[in-house]
Chain A
Amino acid sequence: MLHIPILRQGEPYKSLDLARVPHHRTRELFVEISQANVGLIRRDLRNQETGRAALAGFSIAELVEICARAAHHFINDTLPLGDDLQAPEDYVRQVSATTGLPHVLGRRNMQKIQSMLAEMGNVLNGLTRNLAWDVLDRGFGEVNGHSLSFFPRTRSLGVVLPNNSPGVHSLWIPAVPLKIPLVLKPGSAEPWTPYRIIQALIRAGAPRAAFSFYPADHAGGAEILRSCGRGMIFGDTTTASLWENDPRLEIHGPGYSKLVIGEDCIDDWEKYLDVMVASIVENGGRSCVNASSVWVPAHGREIAAALARRLAQIAPRASEDPEAQLAPFTDANVASRISQLIDQGLGESGATEVTAEYRVGERLTIWEGCSYLLPTIVLCDGPEHSLANKEFLFPFASVVNCKQEQIPEALGPSLVVTAITSNPKLLQKLAAAPNVDRLNIGPLATNHLSWDQPHEGNLFEHLYGRRAFQQALAG
């Protein structure tokens, strides 16, 4: 039986408390995951200096090189997995087994992580705005004639991770070249990716002591967040709200990412259909950067119908099928509850499900023993409808009719907004909107990321503070 151990500052530990995770389709036991008790986590985290000291022995440039080598190991090598070994294709199969993610999407996510590791230099430059790395190595230095000094705000970064998509793990990796040890609590069904990233980094020369990996329950996750000076948490609205007043944490809740088409472009909406489809569907609609709504000042009905026609062609396929675009729900009750929530919203006046006209069968479908939610497009008459701003773990989007001047205020919190417009007033309003985290101008899919841009908060600013600094002239 496959077993994934706890890593206590890099050292494997098999717990007597094992979580048993089944294969999503056969329901047969697939992997046992050692669970860390809260006391063990708490005891370990009394010593956060060892990991920090181990990373401090490297320069940032050296750690960036380690990341580049790790990129190669991550995508090509057979790496340790507990007492077993894991080839790259094993990894793809294992992620799919416990999360339902089709193999083709698993490979795509693998590429994303590989490219992130390989591009770490650019990523760091994006996060630090091209700060010379030796300034961080020394803690102080001079840039363009100005003295600068930075200090780490924490001795470790605690991260409570999700199950939805392996790609999210690229968010915490830059902590390694920034010399901050990691304390990770993996999602209950997706320990594979963080474990493999850690193994790739260790093989590339990163110090073991910099990696703690604690599969645990919610209490274990909370202990990590409480005990680390800085943290990140991924979760739904309820989880996020528990921690929203804690300035030590970067909270990654639902993305509510959106496409906005201005009046100047709306008559040409058909030109942007591919961007809309990609934003909604790619990665099975499982990412926070997938669009969950399209905001339009006109042609809402035609756009919704065109999207529905395209999305209605997507059907469940086998995990191994290279054409697979949808992931089944590992818990059938979750799929059923989501579908009920949508039906409840459709019960209110002002919204219709457009996909229902084009799709064969029901939204909630059982295929080869697994529950799927088929892509769903809802047309909303206005932004006040309860379905206008909802996000679910499958390709779901609302097309929202809204006057252009109302759009920036009506959008609400949005991780990504793709604005297809050249209207300076609209662009100015969107650029000034505090509720828009990432702004794409032009027909870029919401999930199109650029490594030199920080995503959902700047990890460097989260981990480092800048202090006032002066140095007396020599002599």
Chain B
Amino acid sequence: MSATEITLEKNITKSRESLDAWVREVVQWHFDPDTGCPFWLDYAARLDWDPRKEIQTYMDLDRFGFFEDEWLRGRDVRRWVPKGYAGRPIYTFETGGSTGVPKSRISIEDFRIDYEAFSDTLPDEFFPRDADWLSLGPTGPRRLRLAVEHLAQYRGGICFMVDLDPRWVIKLIKMGQAKMAEQYKQHVIEQGLTQLRAHDNIKCLFTTPKLLEALCEKVSLKKLGITGVFCGGTEMTPQFHRFAVEELLEGAYFAATYGNTLMGLAVHKPRAAADNYAIIYYPPHPRAMIEVVDPENTEQVVDYGETGRVRLTTLTKEFFMPRFLERDEAEREPPCELYPWDGVRNVRPFSKLNTTVVEGVY
């Protein structure tokens, strides 16, 4: 074993230990009658075992079974607010609201903490401190809208925004109104262009893959002075990654991310030739973990390199979500030097789900 491999092994062991310690702390918090939220306290009351005693490691979280996203739809959102945060201003962020009642996740500081951690992964050379940002992505009741603004502010910048309602886009596509959806996309792009042309200090951009393509059809990012692009919100393929790097970005840094309201933000491993543009994400350990499980036996994690369904676990003091089966699939990626815990490669919609996932222009 080489010295590098030995170091990696040590770091993997350390990260497992710190994860287990964090699991104990978070479970203590959520199941303590003084600090936990009504949902988990009620849940614990129906168990014949005490999570605070019996959950000692990350693996022990299997005892909760699978988190059901239906629990997050409607009813009293306050049942998710930990008593330990009583009196604090509460945000609610939504996901999955194209039809019916959206899922809601409460938040206090999590989005700030996550994006400050993400900020540490951005190179200052391409995302200069004090530079301004343009956020060209979903707004409304979404975490991204506030999170990107906080990211800009945390790095000393100001974030310019445009409105974008992805539910309307999805509705247009479902109604067969592709032309109208395209017009809406152009409407968003035109507003973004106006901001970019009006504010010379905008050097950083958050946007989605499709909006990045649409923007680059109109202008050269380089000419507009954009040096860093933080991209996420929808599926990204290796081919898109390559296309963006080779043909759209003109040297700007491409920070791909995978995330959602429920988990947080997974960062992209820096591009390496050996990865051939594969998009490899690592979760924000220990605050969230991503695993790849056998779709037929979702308690079983697949081997490295194998394909399976994505399973998320969120472990913050604001939100506890053990073993949530996401509507995505991916390959399991081994730990690396920078991130000594499991990652995922090439996340895409889970092919075994029968429902078609409509992704819009955003």
Contact = CB atoms under 8 A, between A and B. Distances in A.
Given A16-B276, A43-B247, A242-B176, A37 B240 contact: yes
Given A16-B276, A16-B277, A37 B237 contact: yes
Interface residues of B, number: 19
A35 to B, nearest CB: 7
A97 B140 CA distance: 51
Nearest to B213: A39
Nearest to A18: B239
B277 to A, nearest CB: 6
Contacts of A242: 176
A340 interface: no
A42 B217 contact: yes
Decide if the interface of chain B is mainly helix, strand, loop or mixed.
Answer: helix
Q: Which interface residue of B182, B216, B239, B240 has the most chain A CB atoms within 10 A? A: B239
B238 interface: yes
Given A16-B276, A242-B176, A43 B239 contact: no
Contacts of B213: 38-39, 42-43
Given A39-B243, A222-B178, A242-B176, A16 B217 contact: no
Contacts of A38: 213
A43 B217 contact: yes
A42 B211 CA distance: 13
Contacts of B238: 16-17
A46 interface: yes
Interface residues of A, number: 14
Contacts of B241: 16
B327 interface: no
Contacts of A40: 239, 243, 247
Nearest to A38: B213
B78 interface: no
B237 A16 contact: yes
B222 interface: no
B14 interface: no
A470 interface: no
Contacts of B248: 39
B217 A17 contact: no
Given A42-B213, A43-B213, A16 B247 contact: no
A217 B354 CA distance: 18
B201 to A, nearest CB: 28
Decide if the interface of chain A is mainly helix, strand, loop or mixed.
Answer: helix
Contacts of B187: none
Contacts of B63: none
Contacts of B277: 16
Nearest to A39: B213
Contacts of A15: 239
Interface string B210-226: 10010011000000000
Contacts of B237: 16-17, 37
A279 to B, nearest CB: 36
Contact of A35 (B178, B217, B239): B239
Given A39-B213, A43-B213, A43-B217, A16 B178 contact: no
B26 to A, nearest CB: 39
A46 B240 CA distance: 18
B174 interface: no
Given A16-B237, A16-B238, A16-B276, A37 B178 contact: no
A17 B276 CA distance: 12
Contacts of A35: 239
A409 B230 CA distance: 61
A10 B277 CA distance: 25
A30 to B, nearest CB: 21
Interface string B168-179: 000000001010
Interface in B218-261: 237-243, 247-248
Interface string A33-53: 001011110110010000000
Contacts of B276: 16
The 3 A-B pairs with the shortest beta carbon distances in the complex, nearest first, are: A39-B213, A17-B239, A16-B239
22 contacts: A16-B241, A16-B276, A16-B277, A17-B237, A17-B238, A17-B239, A35-B239, A37-B237, A37-B239, A37-B240, A37-B243, A39-B209, A39-B210, A39-B240, A39-B248, A42-B213, A42-B217, A43-B216, A46-B217, A222-B178, A226-B182, A242-B176
